[in-house]
């Protein structure tokens, strides 16, 4: 009898633990996206890059940059 009771108590504890764990997992969810916080912020340097342009020529930040700075525009596509 005692073994039975202990068994039942053991299973209830297990089930409760499992339920709590899955509730925790669900509660953590996805990170909220805030584009303003993504990527280099004001004052930060930017990653170096080496990409071909529309003429097939390789360009880097150094080759693009003007004397007073640079405008880097990231867009989705020129094609649609």
Partner 1 sequence: MELQDRLEELNASGIGVAAISYDSPEVLAEFAQRRGITFALLADIDSTAITDFGILNTVAEEGLGPNGDDPEVVADVAKYVSMFGASNLIVGTPYPGTFMLDAGGRVSARFFEEFYRERNTTSNVMLKIGIGVSPVAAIEGSTAQLKFTAYPSNSSITVGTRFSVAVDVVPNTAMHVYAPGAETMGYKVIGLSFEPDELLRFEPVEFPESEIYHFKPLDEYVPVFQQPFTLLQEIVVDASETSEGIMSQMDTLTLSGTFQFQACDDAICYLPTSLPVSLTLDIDNPDRQRANSR
- Residue numbers of the site for partner 1 (CB under 8 A)? 29-30, 33-36, 38-47, 49, 51-56, 59, 61, 64-80
Q: Cβ distance 66 to 72 under 8 Å?
A: no
How many C-alpha atoms does 80 have within 13 Å on its Cβ side?
Answer: 1
Taking the least distance from each CB to partner 1, the nearer of 24 and 47 is 47
Provide the minimum distance between the beta carbon of 32 and partner 1 in the complex, in angstroms, as a whole number: 9
- How far from chain centre, in Å, is Cα 25? 18
Provide the minimum distance between the beta carbon of 60 and partner 1 in the complex, in angstroms, as a whole number: 10
Q: Cβ distance 59 to 72 under 8 Å?
A: no
Taking the least distance from each CB to partner 1, the nearer of 3 and 77 is 77
């Amino acid at each position: 009898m005692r073994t039975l009771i202990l068994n039942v108590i053991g299973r209830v504890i297990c089930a409760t633990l499992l339920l709590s764990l899955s509730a925790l997992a669900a509660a953590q969810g996805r990170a909220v996206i805030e584009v303003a916080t993504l990527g280099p912020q004001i004052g930060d340097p930017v990653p170096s890059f080496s990409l071909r342009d529309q003429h097939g020529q390789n360009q880097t930040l150094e080759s693009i940059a003007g004397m007073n700075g640079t405008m880097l525009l990231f867009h989705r596509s020129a094609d649609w």
